[in-house]
A and B are shown apart, each in its own frame.
Chain A
Amino acid sequence: MPVSTESQPLSRRRRRISGLWLALSAVVALYLALVLGMLAATAVHSPPWRVLQSLASREIRHAIGLSLTTSTLSALLSLAVAVPIGYLLARGAFRGKPILDAALDIPIVLPPMVVGLCLLILFQTPLGQFVERVVPFTYTVAGIVLAQFVIAAAFAIRTMRATFDHLSPRPEDVAMTLGCSRARAIWSVTLPAAYRGMLAAAGVAWARSFGEFGPILVFAGATRMKTEVLPTSVWLELSVGNLEAAVAVSVLMVAAAMLVLVGIRLAGERA
């Protein structure tokens, strides 16, 4: 039976497209299997009673409290800095903008340990020593927040810049013709429209801060009941061979990160 010449290229095209989708799906499935596989393996490694027992220790409970407090503080500070900087980068046209843009990415590309070392050295300079006399940062809780903030803010700035890039400046212009100053137009019109972006930026900053380890270890130390946050706990427990406790803390961190992720998504949906 003769085959329609028109149908052949179409069916071949269809096969090619589905082949491509198949390949893409395979890549997604492989990557997701790796991520979910490692999480599942960690989750089932220890029986639940053992996890709870580890989490009941005084040191770990202190670390949980400290991690939650410092990450929340860093996320709020990061957002406070990211909103104006993101707005400036998205709306401002000025000489040197590409340089500023690149400079703000420095904390993202620097190795985390190096960030901690740089902070340590900064606070040895005369200016750093002066600040240290007013508010001690080195090997203190304030130092944990600062170390988290330096990196988290860079991620929050990126998120806020993308948010403002996607919002048209026109409604703000109209608000000004209706009687607002520029600042009031931003406050009344642009910021409410950027609400989801702000939630996302705070979420990213919180997650980065919650998982931060290197800079905190170098700049704030790893003193139990003082500057020990949860990533430090994992490291301390592993270094003394207590795998059970390390796993317990890891499971807790995964759960907290998931909760924040879901919470932000839900809040974003409602907005």
Chain B
Amino acid sequence: MIELRGVQHSVGRFRLDDVSFSVPSGAYGVLMGRTGCGKTTLLEIICGLRSLEAGSVFIAGRDVTDEPPGRRGVGYVPQDGALFPTFSVREQIAFALRLRRWSARDIQARVTELAEPLGLVDLLHRRPLGLSGGECQRVALARALAARPAVLLLDEPLSALDDETREQTGLLLKTTQRQQGVTALHVTHSAHEARQLADILLRLDRGHVFEP
């Protein structure tokens, strides 16, 4: 479950005011809003990359407001994938597992478990340079899911893809989210994506979140 209670945050003239909403466990939440309305900021608040002026963030029933990003149990897929430039695809997926000191055998098993359904098996030795937009997003997804986070946060994951890839990747996102049993929050400005994926639809407008 993802829950925000009375969250306040401001940067310059931009302001999120008394934002409260929740996405139940195992659901696929889609947060819609126009470009520049603060969707990315909201995801960064949930990740712990931005501090709050007021309010609380709960993940899987636990108050994580004062926890550092790495202890919140979130998997984050930024808009451009933000792959680590010098890591191979295998190293990207294994990164969180190595930090948690998993054994080499368990890491190998988890990498294969994620790489197969996401179509990354043939790319495991490749570096990010030269991967297509869709491939980058799938690697970023596998990397975010590797350590079995409770929550998956997706920032416009389909916006840079062509129509055909967007449709396929959208379906893959939903299937993967179901298979991994993770609660997802996907932000987008596309009504089509929202209709295709959302169990719970939320709208961010003028600093407030509504359930339409």
Contact = CB atoms under 8 A, between A and B. Distances in A.
Interface of A: 167-168, 170-171, 173-181, 188-189, 192-193, 195
Interface of B: 44, 47-49, 68-72, 74-76, 78, 80, 82-87, 95-96, 99-100, 140, 143-144, 146-147
Contacts of B44: 173
A233 B43 CA distance: 62
In the A-B complex, list the 9 residue pairs whose CB atoms are closest, starting with the nearest. Answer: A170-B82, A179-B70, A178-B96, A179-B99, A192-B86, A193-B85, A177-B76, A176-B69, A177-B69
Nearest to B44: A173
Contacts of B74: 177
A268 to B, nearest CB: 13
Nearest to A169: B82
A175 B47 contact: no
Contact of A193 (B69, B86, B96, B144): B86
Nearest to B49: A173
Contacts, number: 69
Contacts of A179: 70-71, 96, 99-100, 147
Contacts of A175: 84, 95
Contacts of B68: 176, 181
B70 A195 contact: no
Contacts of B49: 173, 176-177
B86 A178 contact: no
A180 B47 contact: no
B84 A177 contact: no
19 contacts: A168-B80, A170-B78, A170-B80, A173-B44, A173-B47, A173-B82, A174-B76, A174-B78, A174-B84, A175-B84, A176-B49, A177-B72, A177-B74, A178-B95, A179-B100, A189-B87, A192-B85, A192-B86, A193-B86
Given A177-B48, A177-B69, 7 more contacts: A168-B80, A171-B85, A177-B72, A177-B76, A178-B70, A179-B100, A189-B87
Contact of B82 (A171, A181, A192, A195): A171
B96 A195 contact: no
Given A171-B84, A193-B85, A193-B86, A180 B48 contact: no
Q: B47, B84, B87 — which one has the most chain A CB atoms within 10 A of its CB? A: B84
Nearest to A195: B86
Contacts of A170: 78, 80, 82
B78 A173 contact: yes
A181 B80 contact: no
Contacts of B80: 168, 170
Contacts of A178: 70, 75, 95-96, 99, 143-144, 146-147
B42 to A, nearest CB: 15
Contacts of B83: 171
Nearest to B95: A178
Q: A167, A179, A189 — which one has the most chain B CB atoms within 10 A of its CB? A: A179
